[in-house]
Amino acid sequence: MKIFVIPSKFNEYINTYDKKDHTFWNKQCKEILELKSLIRTHYLTETNNICFYCRHQIPSQHGRYWDIDHILPKSLYSSFLFESENLIVSCVDCNSAKGNKNPHKSKNKAVKNLPRGSDKYTFIHPFYDNYDDHIQVKKTAE
């Protein structure tokens, strides 16, 4: 899957973020709303509207069905709020179930750089792992 690259036109806005207050993500200003829309559209196109976690396909791009998930939760790792490799789109149910669970193996919240590599996480990472190498999804007959 191709990682979303945040367009440079958002740099000025992102640079106003203090890397501490994760509620910055919830602002209702045009910059964050446009950025979220671009992220959502990118990953839904990349995944064919399939949730990375549960593998359900939801044929809608509406925000009521999809969340932008911070793989390392924004409440625990606020400095990674705009790190592309920490963002994925998941269905609302999976994102709610994941909640603020900390998937970083060391549980160290003081890390300065985003942990990169499969060995740094306690679950399958969308960019460092191949889902099918770890989990087999069986479809039941209807």
Q: Give the predicted TM-score (pTM) of the model.
A: 0.88
d(CA 107, CA 57): 31
**pLDDT tens readout for residues 96-109:** 999 999 999 988 88
12 Rama class: left (phi>0) / alpha (psi -120 to 50) / beta: alpha
**Which residues are registered as beta bridge partners of 68?**
89
Tell me the three state secondary structure of residue 57. Answer: strand
Q: 104 versus 132: which is more confidently predicted?
A: 104
pLDDT surpasses 80 at 61: no
Q: Answer for the pair 61, 94: CB distance below 8 angstroms, yes or no.
A: no
Q: How confident is the model at residue 83 (pLDDT cuts 50, 70, 90)?
A: very high
Residue percentage of the chain with pLDDT more than 70: 92
Q: What is the mean pLDDT of residues 137-142?
A: 66
